[in-house]
């Protein structure tokens, strides 16, 4: 849940990038880290293998300035894509306030996307977080590849709830055509973990979870 420190007038929210292996989760954080002013970001921590696959998690703290008198920070995390590290995935999700599901648009990876979505639901529930309540957005990455599935198929298979979604080409640090009418539509999807509902995701995240949730700080 969002952490409030009323004595220092600070709040901290946790956003987790989730998805199958090599879908672009770390690339998203690298882009955000590169484009964020030095004064607004902390050091990006990453533990990866020689093949550049996330072994544990990536972590990037971002300072958003003051919102309604509270100094606001967002902690961005990724989870390892390999199923072998599911215990780490579950641990990183603990206390999450928002989820960005990064889907690989390539046709051969559709089943891996579906498995990762099912795994996300399972691990949220294991942390006593309601998958239907936590703010979630989908990013359809690798839209530049020739074997990328049409949006209609991706939404049918991965987005039956009609969640906010974006197309992206994270490795090129550009964003594909938008489905977001918000004023910030000029910025790449990699830089925007919330989608077409504007600030509602953060406002929902900033409301403390109900006591029954029992979620730790992460």
Residues 5-62: tens digit of each pLDDT: 888 899 999 999 999 999 999 999 999 999 999 999 998 988 765 555 665 668 889 9
Q: Is residue 29 part of a domain?
A: yes
Range of the domain at 58: 3-204
Q: What are phi and psi of 28, to 5 degrees?
A: -60, -50
Using pLDDT thresholds of 50, 70 and 90, give the confidence band for residue 186. very low
DSSP codes joined into one string, 56-119: EEEEEEEEEEEETTEEEEEEEEE--SSGGGHHHHHHHHTT-SEEEEEEE-BGGGHHHHHHHHHH
Those residues with Cβ within 8 angstroms of residue 185's Cβ, 6 or more apart along the chain or in another chain: 178
| Average pLDDT of the residues of the chain | 80
- Helices and strands per DSSP (H, E), number in the chain: 5, 8
Note whether 217 and 95 are within 8 A (CB). Answer: yes
Q: What is the DSSP letter of 122?
A: H
Mean pLDDT of 137-154: 97
Q: What is the pLDDT of residue 5?
A: 85
**3 state DSSP class of 33:** helix
Q: Is residue 10 part of a domain?
A: yes
Using pLDDT thresholds of 50, 70 and 90, give the confidence band for residue 204. very low
Q: Is residue 118 part of a domain?
A: yes
Mean pLDDT of 168-178: 64
Q: Give, in order, the Cα–Cα distances in Å from 104 to each of 117, 141, 181, 218.
A: 12, 5, 23, 27
Q: Is residue 209 part of a domain?
A: no
Q: What is the DSSP letter of 211?
A: G
Number of domains in the chain: 1
Angle at 37 between CA 196 and CA 31, to 5 degrees: 55
**CATH number for the domain including 181?**
3.40.50.300
3-state helix, strand, coil in the chain (%, to 5): 30, 30, 40
Give yes or no for residue 126 having a pLDDT over 70. yes
Q: Is residue 210 part of a domain?
A: no
Q: Is residue 213 part of a domain?
A: no
Which residue has tokens 């918000």?
182
Q: Is residue 216 part of a domain?
A: no
Q: Is residue 211 part of a domain?
A: no
pTM value is 0.77
Give yes or no for residue 104 having a pLDDT over 90. yes
User: pLDDT tens digits, residue range 68-79?
Assistant: 899 999 999 999
Using pLDDT thresholds of 50, 70 and 90, give the confidence band for residue 2. confident
């Amino acid at each position: 849940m969002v952490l409030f420190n009323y004595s220092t007038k600070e709040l901290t929210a946790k956003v987790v990038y989730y998805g199958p292996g090599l879908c672009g989760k770390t690339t998203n954080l690298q882009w955000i880290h590169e484009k964020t002013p030095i004064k607004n970001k902390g050091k990006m921590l990453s533990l990866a293998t020689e093949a550049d696959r996330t072994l544990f998690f990536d972590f990037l703290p971002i300072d958003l300035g003051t919102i309604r008198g509270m100094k606001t920070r967002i902690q961005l995390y990724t989870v390892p894509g390999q199923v072998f590290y599911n215990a780490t995935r579950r641990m990183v999700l603990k206390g999450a306030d928002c989820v960005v599901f990064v889907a690989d648009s390539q046709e051969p990876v559709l089943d891996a996307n579906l498995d990762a979505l099912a795994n996300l639901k399972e691990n949220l529930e294991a942390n006593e977080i309601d998958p239907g309540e936590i703010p979630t957005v989908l990013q359809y990455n690798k839209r530049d590849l020739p074997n990328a599935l049409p949006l209609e198929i991706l939404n049918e298979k991965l987005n039956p709830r009609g969640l906010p979604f974006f197309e992206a080409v994270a490795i090129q640090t550009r964003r594909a055509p938008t489905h977001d009418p918000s004023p910030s539509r000029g910025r790449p999807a990699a830089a925007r973990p919330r989608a077409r509902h504007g600030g509602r995701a953060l406002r929902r995240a900033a409301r403390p979870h109900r006591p029954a949730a029992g979620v730790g700080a992460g």
